[in-house]
Amino acid sequence: MSWADFTAAVFNFSNYAELLPLFRDTLLAGAILGVVGGLIGTFVMMRDLAFAVHGIAELSFAGAAFALLIGADVIFGSLVGSVFAALLLGVMGVRAREKNSVIGVIMPFGLGLGILFLSLYEGRSANKFGLLTGQIVSVDSTQLSVLAGTALVVVVGLASIWRPLTFASADPDIATARGVPVRTLSLAFMFLLGIAVALSIQVVGALLVLALLITPAAAALQVTAAPRMVVLLSVGFAMTATVGGIMLALGGSIPISPYVTTLSFVIYLLCRIAGAWRRRRGWSARPNALAV
């Protein structure tokens, strides 16, 4: 492949003005997923669940592949798989170490099942690949409303448990003593996380969900610790990655996911640099020490 072919495939903006309106629903879907990923990502970071997200995604993939095989709705199959995996982890693993080994056991099993279902499936091969690496170039309006409705469940759910979940994530012992239902909250969160993972898979695929659920929040944490700012930045970064990624992908012949993951990664790098600069400038310096 020549350099010219490469750039033509990766960046192609001919007829862009005509294309853009056609992809209005896709862009909206990207924006919605950005909100969900950015919001839930802050808690994924706080609760140290990056590995769990990865494990849930593989089971979600198996669910989606099964749905594809039997001709059921793929989003539904993916939801069932990931909510099941998330709740299983929520029930089983209380301690992080234990949880990691459980995930390590479940993850390859899910991936293997998914590959089995896919190889039995005889439909279009683009559908197969899309589950792992992401591909929703065209979202129709019914899919969009399903997506929006499910995303709304996650956002409203998170908003209603926001404070006690923050308390339980930051300091479970004290939260328990104060009567916060730590265990119930943990299960509720895993349920919402399962839904969020299934939704994200529709854009970036099972292998790349971390780019949507971890990277934006991790980037935000590099530059701020103020809770409101963390949430705003995390959502902003995730939306930039999804919407920006879709816009860059429109004209080319390449799936959305590499654009989304690259944008997400670049944002993270910039935040790391900004964070390092801020720390060197004395982020933790006391005001009175600065005055001297």
Partner 1 sequence: MSPSAPAIISLSAATLKYGQRTLWKDLNLQVAPGEFLAVLGANGSGKTSFLKILLGLSPLSSGQLTINGAPAKRGNRGIGYIPQQKNFAPDTPLRARDVVGLGVDGDKWGFRLRGKSYHQRVDELLAQVGATSYGKIPVGMLSGGEQQRLRVAQALAANPQVLLCDEPLLSLDLNHQKAVSALVGQQAKQHGTAVVFVTHEINPILEHVDRVLYLAGGRFTLGTPAEVMTTEVLSKLYGTRVEVLHIDGRLVVVGRPDSVLDGHLPEDEQSHSHDSTHGQEIR
Residue 218 φ then ψ, to 5°: -65, -40
Q: Residue 95 contacts by C-beta under 8 Å, 6 or more apart in sequence?
A: none
User: Helices in the chain by DSSP H: which ranges?
Assistant: 3-10, 16-22, 24-46, 50-70, 74-92, 96-120, 125-133, 141-160, 162-170, 172-177, 182-204, 210-213, 215-223, 227-249, 257-280, 287-291
Q: Which is nearer to partner 1, 4 or 290 (CB)?
A: 290
Site for partner 1 in 194-223 (CB under 8 A): 220-221
**Token code pair at residue 238:** 């995730």
Q: How far is the CB of 285 from partner 1 (least distance, A)?
A: 8
Instruction: Select the residue interacting with partner 1 from 14, 177, 280, 281 (CB under 8 A).
Output: 177
Distance CA(196)–CA(193), nearest Å, equals 5
- The residue among 103, 56, 105 whose CA lies nearest residue 84 is 56
Candidate ranges 99-107, 120-128, 130-138, 165-173; the one touching partner 1 (CB under 8 A)? 165-173
Count of residues interacting with partner 1 (CB under 8 A): 32
Residues 112-151 as x/- pattern, contact with partner 1 by CB under 8 A: ----------------------------------------
Q: Which is nearer to partner 1, 24 or 163 (CB)?
A: 163
Candidate ranges 17-25, 62-70, 101-109, 279-287; the one touching partner 1 (CB under 8 A)? 279-287
Instruction: Select the residue interacting with partner 1 from 84, 162, 191, 265 (CB under 8 A).
Output: 162
Instruction: Select the residue interacting with partner 1 from 2, 14, 253, 284 (CB under 8 A).
Output: 284
Instruction: Select the residue interacting with partner 1 from 9, 105, 148, 159 (CB under 8 A).
Output: 159
Does residue number 292 form part of the binding site for partner 1 (CB under 8 A)? no
Q: Residue 265 contacts by C-beta under 8 Å, 6 or more apart in sequence?
A: 211, 215
Site for partner 1 in 37-76 (CB under 8 A): 42, 45-46
Distance CA(100)–CA(110), nearest Å, equals 15
CA dihedral for 122, 79, 205, 35, sign (positive or negative): positive
Q: Which is nearer to partner 1, 165 or 249 (CB)?
A: 165
**Token code pair at residue 151:** 């995303």
Q: How far is the CB of 159 from partner 1 (least distance, A)?
A: 6
